Structure 1
């Protein structure tokens, strides 16, 4: 079952007794948790009906005990439980002793007046654990993975429509390139853009560039994109703007190195038949960033990428030892790269 199907079931009054939410897409996970709260607990009952616990300082036995305790002054209660290691292979550094059998016993006969929602900020569950198998069998486990490239752009478009405005062609792509892939940040930027455009307004690329500032990382991303497309004047303009913002040249060089290393990794894995999602998982990157890196990779031969990384390693050494002026060294590197 996916989150969309689970949300539909909740709205139809078919909530499960136990939910296990996991993944790195925190924004959507919190959205689903908020949906449970909104659909299952009336606003006036929430002070008594909502319990928030953390397995870092609360044992699983105490969670079960809370679930089995009849709610006070309300017919149903919702128990949100944060976790990082109980359901995963991560090392448990906490001092709390958990007895998994307590949850296993509860799953056989869950209380009809309690709903437990485990929220795990990890991409993978430890499928070997009995508690994982038990919750998957008797409850609902939902994965919240980062959205793929096209999914992310579709999500941004949908957010804009919900705010009463629309994004012109290419605007969603530029917004993600400027603001990054964090859904919380993107949601805030869409709200700002729609307030500027007004009800029924259309947001174009120029408006996005005017209102959405790029972070240092996104600026370097754009700089490499301009180099890949032989737009040396724009690449240098971004570089000089970063210097005006007092960014350290060594840091800029390190970020450029990181981006070219990603491009090489994506190019290598793509040639081996890996999909976008598989590459994202393999190198720990958002699928949208993999998509853009893949587009950039097509403009460079593997041998040239390796030469660029070797030159960046040499430049890093020269900058740190004082063999070359940091700004001049990086400037010359960009000029040679775009030549």
Structure 2
């Protein structure tokens, strides 16, 4: 069941005895928990009637015993079951023993005064297990999977508008890209952007660039673009900044290799007639990253990218065999490729 449908039912006080929250989008999971708490309790009552059990540390029997306990000065007791790995194919060495038969018995006749919530922060469960099949049959399954790009864009845009802010189209794209199109990250970064732009309610590219941090992969993507565009001065500065941040040259070389490999794959598939969406599907990479890669790869012949890739392989081998200092070799590579572009 979609999160929106479940939230609507909760607001109408149609609350189920058992929920299974399934998916990896933390923000949506927290949204569900917040709405359930708001509907069931006054803030001062939560301490006595809300408990959470981590299945990697605590037995399932303890959580079920809590669910069977009458609420304290209230109508309901809310029990969260975190990390129910016994619903998946995962095995945890040294973890507590869980009595799944006890859970299956409970699901057949859940408590009238408890709401039991399983928080499965995974992409999928092991559908072969009897307990998984029964839980999905008896519980309300709440889908908190990551949104597809279109839904994500609409949701974030609506969130920004609801807060009374405007965001430039390029700033919007940059925010999504720097947040890896993950809703939880996006919402977190938006709080900073809202605060910074609270006076005029306008979010620009400059604001996003200043406030939203870049991951290592994003920085190396920028470095790749600077090298391939012939901007040796900027590329060397980016490289030195990464070293100051504690990054290792060997690690940077490995990521740069993966970036050039991606450009090669995009170039080859594009020459075979693949469109952007087809390339993204074939390579299992987000379409926006493919879009940026296509823009970069268009400037180079396939043979040129192949030579750059081969040179990186040779440099990596030279460093690992101790033939040359890694920092010097990386800087010479930047200067050489940048000069050849010019």
1:136 aligned partner: 136
- Per the alignment, do residues 142 and 278 of structure 1 end up closer, same or farther by CA in structure 2, a change over 3 Å counting? farther
Distance (Å, rounded) in 2 between the aligned partners of 1:55 and 1:163: 38
Distance (Å, rounded) in 1 between the aligned partners of 2:114 and 2:71: 8
2:112 aligned partner: 112
Choose 323-332 or 21-30, whichever is displaced more: 323-332
Q: Deviations over 1:130-169 (max 9, x none)?
A: 1211121111223333333444444443443344322111
> Cα offset for 1:322?
3.6
- Per the alignment, do residues 64 and 303 of structure 1 end up closer, same or farther by CA in structure 2, a change over 3 Å counting? farther
> Cα offset for 1:82?
0.7
| RMSD across aligned positions (CA) | 3.2
Contact 1:84 1:122 in 2 (8 A): no
2:5 aligned partner: 5
Report the structure number with the largest CA radius of gyration: 2
- Map 1:261-300 → 2, pairs under 5 A: 261=261, 276=280, 280=284, 288=286, 291-293=288-290, 295-297=292-294, 299=297
2:69 aligned partner: 69
1:85 aligned partner: 85
Distance (Å, rounded) in 2 between the aligned partners of 1:269 and 1:99: 51
- Map 1:107-256 → 2, pairs under 5 A: 107-199=107-199, 201-226=201-226, 230=229, 232=231, 234-245=234-245, 247-256=247-256
Q: Deviations over 1:180-205 (max 9, x none)?
A: 45544433322222112115511111
Choose 145-154 or 26-35, whichever is displaced more: 145-154
Contact 1:156 1:190 in 2 (8 A): no
Contact 1:149 1:291 in 2 (8 A): no
Distance (Å, rounded) in 2 between the aligned partners of 1:265 and 1:32: 40
Q: TM-score, normalised by structure 1?
A: 0.83
Contact 2:87 2:131 in 1 (8 A): yes
Contact 2:279 2:290 in 1 (8 A): no
Choose 239-248 or 129-138, whichever is displaced more: 239-248
Q: Deviations over 1:97-139 (max 9, x none)?
A: 2222222222222122111111122211001111211121111
Distance (Å, rounded) in 2 between the aligned partners of 1:185 and 1:191: 10
- Per the alignment, do residues 29 and 279 of structure 1 end up closer, same or farther by CA in structure 2, a change over 3 Å counting? farther
Distance (Å, rounded) in 2 between the aligned partners of 1:262 and 1:199: 42
Distance (Å, rounded) in 2 between the aligned partners of 1:163 and 1:100: 45
Distance (Å, rounded) in 2 between the aligned partners of 1:182 and 1:205: 19
> Cα offset for 1:93?
2.1
Distance (Å, rounded) in 1 between the aligned partners of 2:265 and 2:26: 26
2:100 aligned partner: 100
Distance (Å, rounded) in 2 between the aligned partners of 1:135 and 1:159: 33
> Cα offset for 1:319?
2.3
